[in-house]
Amino acid sequence: MSIIDTDVHPNPRNADEIRKHLPAPWRDGFAMPRRPFYHNPIHANRLDATPPGGGPAASDPDFLREQLMGTYGIRHPILIPRTFANIHPNPDYGSAVATAFNAWLAETWLEAYNDDGAFKGSITINHHDPLAAAAEIDRWADHPHMVQVVTDSGARAPLGQRQYYPIYEACERHGLPFAMHPGTDGIGGNTLPTPGVPTHYIEYHCGMSLAFQAHLLSFLTEGVFERFPTLRIALLEGGVAWLAPLLWRLDAYWRALRKDTPWITRPPSEYLDEHVRLSTQPLERPGRDEHLLALFDAVGAERVLMFSSDYPHWDFDSPTRAFPSSMPDPLRQRIMHDTAAELYGL
């Protein structure tokens, strides 16, 4: 089965690969972006993901091809560099970091390392400066291997609010999906989705799905999809199990409180089917396979789910082990390939 992996994280070999794309005054002070806290206390990446020649995990394209594409037959890895561009209080610096990573990704993984066109990339933006983010989308939208716009879920306001509209206008203008990935909640000037500050990494990591729920509620209640009828959104690495009960709750409230959001003309769940897709990793896996298949039925998995491995991170999901063997082949085909191929035009 041909597979599209919607969440793969390439790394620069060193900071100089990014620094050379940064203008003054940002160049001299740049260091590889890292979260200042909530580190995995054991190991952040697969123990076997270090390239044979050394260097960071997922920094050697040949080794990534061997480990990910050669082993599992993945046709297209969708590349999402971890830039952390939106943790910086200075929006000019955050936007410069996003631009530098985009230039690096295009120069290396999408061009020099991509003779077969298998690697597909993501345009990183700093959503704290929506006008600069829109300009960044315009700059890279015509690149033949850039297939989406991506930002982190860490934010200072829910992403459905109107200050972000220039970003969605640019996505719609170029026919690019807008993707959200976790990792910067509560860092820099960003707020946390929890009532306070978590104590441990396990609490922070498990609670990442809370930000996705909050942002999705914002998209659905602010009327983003009425204003931008062709916009598509991908929620990557935010979990799956929460989706059905959230929509049941929201649909019920919409019927009772329609005067509060008169611009929403249909049940919110209908907008989701048309506009939103989710990646599978980290897939909440119950102890019994039939419970997982029931969950897939409840969320409309054949319409909304796309496979992701999260390579090279510690909680990597193998395509051969992520799903029960009893999962019907047509559903497997949709999750592993077809839904992502439709979203990204592959």
Report CA torsion sign: 12, 15, 19, 24: positive
Closest CA to 247 of 290, 280, 226, 276: 276
Cα angle value 175/176/178 (rounded, 5°): 135
Burial of 42 (0-12, 13-18, 19+ CB in 10 A): exposed
pLDDT in tens, 249-306: 999 999 999 999 999 999 999 999 999 999 999 999 999 999 999 999 999 999 999 9
pLDDT confidence of residue 150 = 98
Closest CA to 204 of 63, 28, 36, 16: 36
Contacting residues for 81 by C-beta, under 8 A, at least 6 apart: 9, 10, 11, 12, 101, 104, 105, 122, 124
pLDDT confidence of residue 29 = 84
Half-sphere exposure of 188 (CA within 13 A, CB side): 24
Q: Which domains does the chain have, with CATH numbers?
A: 3-344 (3.20.20.140)
**CA-to-CA distance for 184 and 153, rounded, in angstroms?**
7
pLDDT in tens, 32-81: 866 667 888 888 899 899 999 999 999 999 999 999 999 999 999 999 99
Closest CA to 177 of 231, 141, 218, 139: 231
With a pLDDT cut of 70, the percent of the chain lying above it is 99
Burial of 334 (0-12, 13-18, 19+ CB in 10 A): buried
Rounded mean pLDDT, 133-137:
98
**CA-to-CA distance for 295 and 289, rounded, in angstroms?**
10
**CA-to-CA distance for 56 and 18, rounded, in angstroms?**
14
Residue 210 has pLDDT above 80, yes or no: yes
pTM over 0.85: yes
Q: What are phi and psi of 181, to 5 degrees?
A: -130, 145
Tokens of 124: 């990183």
Q: How many C-beta neighbours within 10 Å does residue 326 have?
A: 9
pLDDT confidence of residue 82 = 95
pLDDT confidence of residue 189 = 87
Mean pLDDT taken over the chain: 96
DSSP states along 34-93:
--SS---SS-SB-TT-S-TT-SSTT--HHHHIIIIIIHH-EEEEEE-----GGG-SSHHH
What separation in angstroms does the CA of 325 have from each of 293, 320, 335? Answer: 11, 9, 14
Rounded mean pLDDT, 229-251:
97
pLDDT confidence of residue 36 = 66
Rounded mean pLDDT, 210-217:
98
